[in-house]
Amino acid sequence: MEPLVLGGRPRTTDLGIEVVDKFDGTRIATVAAADPALVREAIASAHGARDAMRALAPAQRADILERVAARLEEQREGIADTLVREAGKPIRFALAEVDRALDTFRIAAREAVRIEGGVVPLDGAPANAGYRATWKRVPVGVCGFIAPFNFPLNLVAHKVAPAIAAGCPFVLKPASVAPLGALRIADALAAEVGVRGGLPEGSFSVLPARGAAAEPIATDDRVAKLSFTGSDEVGWRLAGLAAKKRVTLELGGNAAVVVDETADLDDAVRRIVFGAYYQAGQSCISVQRIVAVEAILDELRDRLVAAVEGVVAGDPRAADTRVGPLIAEDEADRVLRSIDAARAAGAEVLVGGGRSGPVVEATLVEGVPHGQDLLDEEVFGPVAVLIGVPDYDAALAEVNRSRFGLQAGVFTRDVHRAHRAWDELEVGGVVVGDVPSWRADAMPYGGVKDSGLGREGPAFAIEEMTERRLLVVRDPGTT
C-alpha cells in the first residue's frame, strides 16, 4: 500500500483506496486513505507549523519551489504515464500537463519574491497630520485544499505552489479516483522537510480520502482558507460549511465559443475541435456550446462535421488518440443518457453519439432545445452543441443565458466586437481568436455566477492566501 503524507512524513493507515487504469480497469495501486480523525490531525500539524512557515524568507520559499520543480522534471515521463493510467489522459496531454505543472511551480517561485505592500496617503485630511501608514501582506495561516481528478497534477500545483510562496501550511485532499499525481508532488515536497532552508516539520499533508472524510477541511476553525475545485453542487455546500473562512471555488462551466461572419473558419474549426474534445471534454472550460451566426452556420457545420469525424477515440497510450476514456463507466452512461434525451427532444446527432466501455466518441449535436441537460448543464464529456443565431447580438445573449460563467471564446476579426464581448459577456475571462479552453498558468483564472468565487493563477492565488496588515506610526509631539 502506498502511504499518504501527513505533516510531511509518510503514513500508512488501515484504510485503502484502490486506483485503477481508467481505460482497461486493471489495478494500478492501493493508496492509504485518511478518515476524519486523521484529517484533523493533519490540520493540527499544519496549525502548529504556522510560525515556522511564515518565518521562511521569500527567497527561501522561491528556492524550495524551484527545487520541487526540478525533482518533478526528473520524473517527467514516469509521472505522465501515471496520469495516462489514473486519469485516462492521452499521452500527449499527460506530458503537456506535467510541463504545465513545472511552469506553475516556477511561476510561483518568481511571485514569492514579489509579494508587495504599499503606502497609504493620509495627508488629504488635516486631522491625519503627523501620522504615517503603510501596509504589507502576511500569510492567512492554514489552507485547506480539495482538488479534482481531471488535472490531477497541475490543479494540485495551482493550490500547493502559491501556498508555499505565500508562507501558508496546508492540508490537501486529492481526488480519490486519481490521487497519484498529488502524491508525486507530496514526495517532491517531502524531500524538503528537515533540510536547511526547507519546509518546516508538519507544514503540509496530502491525504487521499473519500469525500465525506475531508469535511473537517471546511469546518475546522483552524483552517483559515478553503480552496475547492470540483462540482458546483459540492462546492457551494462546502462554502456554506466554511462560514468564517476565505473561500475560493473553481466550479463547473458550460463554456461557449462565438463564431461570427468575419472569422477565419479554417482556424476556428481547428481550435474548436481541440477545445471540445481534449481531455475527453472533462474540463470546466471544454467547448460545449458553439454559437454561430446564421451567415456562416452552414459552412461551419460542414467543416466541423468533417473535422470531428477524424478525431480518434480509444486507448490513451496511442500517439494518435485525442479522446481517451471518461473517469468511470458510469460517467460514460451519464453522457450517453444526455445525448439520448436531447435526441428524443428533437436534436440531431451530426457526428458520434456512441461509446465503447468508458470511451465516448467525439460527438457533435445540433438543434438541442433549451431545458435539456446537454445544452443547459455541464456535460463533462466529449460532446459539443452547435447553435445557430441571427447575429452577433444574439450570440452574446446566448452565451450569457447559462447559469455558468467561467470563460468564453470569440472568433471575430472585428476589434470593436471583441471589446463588446469583453464588456458584455458574464464570464471570468474572454479569449478572442481562440477557444475558452485556452489557459495560461500565470493568468487570473476563475468564474462568476455558478462557476465560482475567486481566482487562481499563482500571483492571484497568493493574493487570496495573504491579507493586508496595516502599520500606523504617529510622529512624536503630534497633537
Place of cell 481517451: 324
**pLDDT, tens digit, 9 for 90 and up, residues 142-157:** 999 999 999 999 999 9
At 419, the pLDDT band (50, 70, 90 cuts) reads very high
3-state secondary structure (DSSP) of residue 285? coil
pLDDT at 318 (0 to 100): 96
Q: 14 burial class (0-12, 13-18, 19+ CB within 10 angstroms)?
A: exposed
Mean pLDDT of 206-212: 94
Mark whether 143 is an active-site residue. Answer: no
Instruction: Output phi, psi for 253, to 5 deg.
Output: -150, 170
**pLDDT, tens digit, 9 for 90 and up, residues 155-181:** 999 999 999 999 999 999 999 999 999
Residue tagged active-site, from 2, 97, 192, 284: 284
pLDDT at 479 over 90: no
Question: Using a CB cutoff of 8 Å and minimum separation of 24, what contacts does 187-190 make?
Answer: 187/5, 187/71, 188/68, 188/71, 188/72, 189/5, 189/8, 189/68, 189/160, 190/5, 190/8, 190/9, 190/10
- Could you tell me which of 22, 29, 30 has the C-alpha nearest to residue 86? 22
Distance CA 33, CA 82 (A): 19
Residue tagged active-site, from 111, 250, 378, 463: 250
Instruction: Output phi, psi for 339, to 5 deg.
Output: -65, -45
Mark whether 284 is an active-site residue. Answer: yes
Query: Mean pLDDT score of the chain, rounded to an integer?
Result: 97
Nearby residues of 1 by Cβ (< 8 Å), 6 or more positions away = 12, 16, 30, 31, 32
Distance CA 7, CA 194 (A): 11
Q: Which three cell numbers stand for residue 443?
A: 493568468
Domains (range + CATH), the chain: 4-251+451-470 (3.40.605.10), 256-432 (3.40.309.10)
pLDDT at 477 (0 to 100): 85
Q: Which three cell numbers stand for residue 466?
A: 495573504
Overall pTM surpassing 0.85 (yes/no): yes
DSSP assignment of 227-258 equals: EEES-HHHHHHHHHH-TTSEEEEE-----EEE
